[in-house]
Amino acid sequence: MDLVTPDVGLLFWTFISFAILFFLLKKFAWKPIVGTVNDREKSIKEALASAEAAKLEMQNLTADNERILKEARAEREMMMKEAREIKTKMIADAKEEAKESADKMIAQAQSAIESEKKAAVAELKSQVASLSIEIAEKVMKSELSDSDKQLKLVEDMLGKATLN
């Protein structure tokens, strides 16, 4: 038997075996295999479509998140600006109120000082007047106790007095 030259009987039975195997595979295995391959292809396409949809949704969510983040930052900045304005206004109001209160206290103190000054001046005038009267009494007593001095005082007064 030569290995290079094929035997006709072997070729016939190989062909028959192949045809039977082909028929059986076509009848029983080809449809399930093709169906499984088609189902797998379909599920892969669906998975790819789903992945693409998820990717688009993620892009949309990312864009939404960035937009929301920008809005939140803008709102935060606005709130911070308002808080700074309120703080500045409160400080200005407190300064104004403190200035008004200080001005009022200064005015009251000046008024109290003025009234104390007037009272002190009046007291001083009163004391000066009573002291002047006492001195005048003492001078007059010493001057009027001597009759020569009395006459001289009257003459001096009459000399200084002018008749109009």
> Is 104 within the bounds of a domain?
yes
Is-above-0.75 flag for pTM? no
> Is 48 within the bounds of a domain?
yes
Provide the H-helix boundaries in the chain.
8-24, 30-144, 147-160
Residue 85 has pLDDT above 50, yes or no: yes
> Is 163 within the bounds of a domain?
no
CB 76 within 8 A of CB 68: no
> Is 73 within the bounds of a domain?
yes
Residue 66 has pLDDT above 70, yes or no: yes
pLDDT band for position 162 (cuts 50, 70, 90): low
> Is 44 within the bounds of a domain?
yes
- The alpha-carbon radius of gyration of the chain (Å, integer) is 64
Residue 77 has pLDDT above 60, yes or no: yes
- Collapse the DSSP code of 156 into the 3-class scheme (helix H, G, I; strand E, B; otherwise coil) and give the result: helix
Residue 89 has pLDDT above 90, yes or no: yes
> Is 147 within the bounds of a domain?
no
Residue 106 has pLDDT above 50, yes or no: yes
Number of domains, the chain: 1
Contacts of 150 (CB under 8 A, 6+ apart): 143, 144
> Is 111 within the bounds of a domain?
yes
pLDDT tens-digit readout, 2-50: 666 778 888 899 999 999 998 998 888 888 888 899 999 999 999 999 9
Rounded distance between C-alpha atoms, residue 26 and residue 32, angstroms: 10
Rounded distance between C-alpha atoms, residue 140 and residue 38, angstroms: 148
Roughly what angle, to the nearest 10 degrees, separates helices 147-160 and 30-144? 120
- CA-nearest of 124, 148, 128 to 136 is 128
Q: Which residue has the tokens 């038997």?
A: 1
pLDDT tens-digit readout, 115-157: 999 999 888 888 888 888 887 777 777 766 677 777 777 778 7
pLDDT band for position 163 (cuts 50, 70, 90): low
> Is 33 within the bounds of a domain?
yes
Q: Which structural domain, as residue segments, surrounds residue 22?
A: 8-125
Q: What number is the average pLDDT over the span 101-122?
A: 93
